[in-house]
A and B are shown apart, each in its own frame.
Chain A
Amino acid sequence: MSKTICVLPCNGLDKCAGDVSRRVALQLAQSDAVELICPVLLNQNKSRYEKVLESGELTVIDGCNTRCASKLAGDLELFIKEKVNVSEVAKALNIKLGVEIREDEDSKAVVQEVLEKISSSVAVQAESEFIEPESVAYDSFSHGKFIFKIPKSNYFFNENDCWVTVSGNMARIGVSDYVQQNLSDILYVDPPEIGDEFEQFDDLGSIESGKAVFEIISPVSGTVVAVNTALSDAPELVNESPYEKGWLVEVRLSDFEEDQDLLHDCPTYFKFLQRKVEEVDV
């Protein structure tokens, strides 16, 4: 059986963004390959959609930043393949949707943009130029029931617990073991676009679990050349292997020497994290 796309829109009626999510969903549902999922009925009776969700891939359309549809998918432990937030798309287009439900040119432009975002596959990425180390050696410390792993060398961290490891002019970015343990089961990784240029400490997408959304704060400046496509099918790789298989973004560095001034090397981060874990009492 070929894979169906299951579309779960937020469907809210009290804001224009919710209505836009519904309009997008209805338009997508004109294709036989798309199965529309009603968020309310799903919440009430998950078994109704069990078969289609098993054989298909889930696309979630949130209207506003309350992210009801995403939360519902998270609560029901559904794996999200793709996600779009109507309010964020509108913001990027400089369109204010507001509360009133309307079908004007602005809302049509947002519908169109969301549709394009959903139908365009991830931009073609070049083969990775990053040379992976043969193995990574780790140090660890425990706090209560938690054991935190940190590589012994060749990784650099910012104080937002994001790491970078460098190979020539290329680097990979990810999140630390501390982040993945805090988030617990990661359900979705929202990567940046290939070709995006960014500065050190800019936002580089997010990762999301049933508990929270974590913004990836870039430890370096550069250009996105690849994202870890394996995470779209298996976001749990970030939990299982945060420093290796669970890398998030591959970048071409702009000025690592300068960026490095504001980063911790492994032994320093080890101590920093020990203090942090004590303070926040994980």
Chain B
Amino acid sequence: MILDKIGIISCSGEECLGGTISRLAVRKMMEELKPGMVSTLCLPLFIAGDGGEREFAEKYPTIAVDGCSKCCAKRAIEKYSNKVAGSVDVAEIIGAEIALEKPLSTRNLTTEHMEYVKKTADKTCEIFDEILAKSV
């Protein structure tokens, strides 16, 4: 399997802190933890149906990283493309109450928030590694 053929879609994150965490976790994964190994898919583009995002998720394993238990990213993938290869719910990692707090701009994040980001990114990497291991 080609390494960059695992997709990842983050929740859009306008409703809650969990969304902010999910976006930052996906960026951390792209930029630090698995650079060049993952294709990020844009959720609004995925929903709009342009840009080849749906086709990608149909063909290749795709992980959903959701900010809360509404699981918008996971539901969108399963509605428009395929079953997700794995999913992360930030609310399960940081607790539902915190996940539903107001979304934050990156400059307002505390070290505690960054720890949530790390935990979420680590969990996503675990799923990523499992998918990769299965495919070789």
Interface residues, chain A, CB within 8 Å of chain B?
A: 9-15, 18, 22-23, 25-27, 36-41, 43-44, 66, 68-69, 71-72, 101, 103
Q: Are B15's CB and A41's CB within 8 A?
A: yes
Q: Are A72's CB and B26's CB within 8 A?
A: no
Contact flag A39-B12 (CB < 8 Å), given A15-B42, A66-B48:
yes
Contact flag A13-B43 (CB < 8 Å), given A23-B105, A37-B14, A68-B50:
yes
B44 partner residues in chain A, CB cutoff 8 A:
10-12, 18, 39-40, 68-69, 72
Could you tell me the distance between the alpha carbons of A43 and B107 in the complex, rounded to whole angstroms?
28
Q: B118 interface residue, CB < 8 Å from A?
A: no
Q: B45 interface residue, CB < 8 Å from A?
A: yes
Q: Shortest distance in angstroms between A156's beta carbon and chain B's nearest beta carbon? A: 38
Contact flag A13-B50 (CB < 8 Å), given A39-B14, A39-B44, A41-B15:
no
Q: B90 interface residue, CB < 8 Å from A?
A: no
Q: B45's contact among A9, A14, A23, A38, by CB below 8 Å, is which?
A: A14
Could you tell me the distance between the alpha carbons of A180 and B118 in the complex, rounded to whole angstroms?
52
Q: A41's contact among B14, B26, B107, by CB below 8 Å, is which?
A: B14
B88 partner residues in chain A, CB cutoff 8 A:
none
Q: Shortest distance in angstroms between B9's beta carbon and chain A's nearest beta carbon? A: 8
Nearest A residue to B23, CB-CB: A13
A39 partner residues in chain B, CB cutoff 8 A:
12, 14, 44, 47
Interface string of B70-109 (1 = CB under 8 A from A): 1011011000000000000000000000000001111100
Contact residues of B between 1 and 26, Cβ < 8 Å to A: 10-15, 19, 23, 26
Could you tell me the distance between the alpha carbons of A18 and B11 in the complex, rounded to whole angstroms?
13
Q: Are A72's CB and B15's CB within 8 A?
A: no
Q: B51 interface residue, CB < 8 Å from A?
A: yes
Instruction: Point out which of B14, B27, B44, B106 has the most chain A C-beta atoms below 10 A from its C-beta.
Output: B44
Could you tell me the distance between the alpha carbons of A25 and B70 in the complex, rounded to whole angstroms?
21
Nearest A residue to B66, CB-CB: A40
A15 partner residues in chain B, CB cutoff 8 A:
42
Q: B14's contact among A11, A71, A103, by CB below 8 Å, is which?
A: A11
Q: Are B45's CB and A66's CB within 8 A?
A: yes
Task: Give 7 new A-B contacts, CB below 8 A, not counting A18-B44, A38-B15, A68-B48.
Answer: A13-B27, A26-B103, A27-B105, A36-B103, A37-B14, A39-B12, A44-B76
Could you tell me the distance between the alpha carbons of A87 and B61 in the complex, rounded to whole angstroms?
31
Q: Are B106's CB and A103's CB within 8 A?
A: yes
Nearest B residue to A62, CB-CB: B44
B13 partner residues in chain A, CB cutoff 8 A:
11, 22, 38
Q: Are B23's CB and A26's CB within 8 A?
A: no
Q: B121 interface residue, CB < 8 Å from A?
A: no
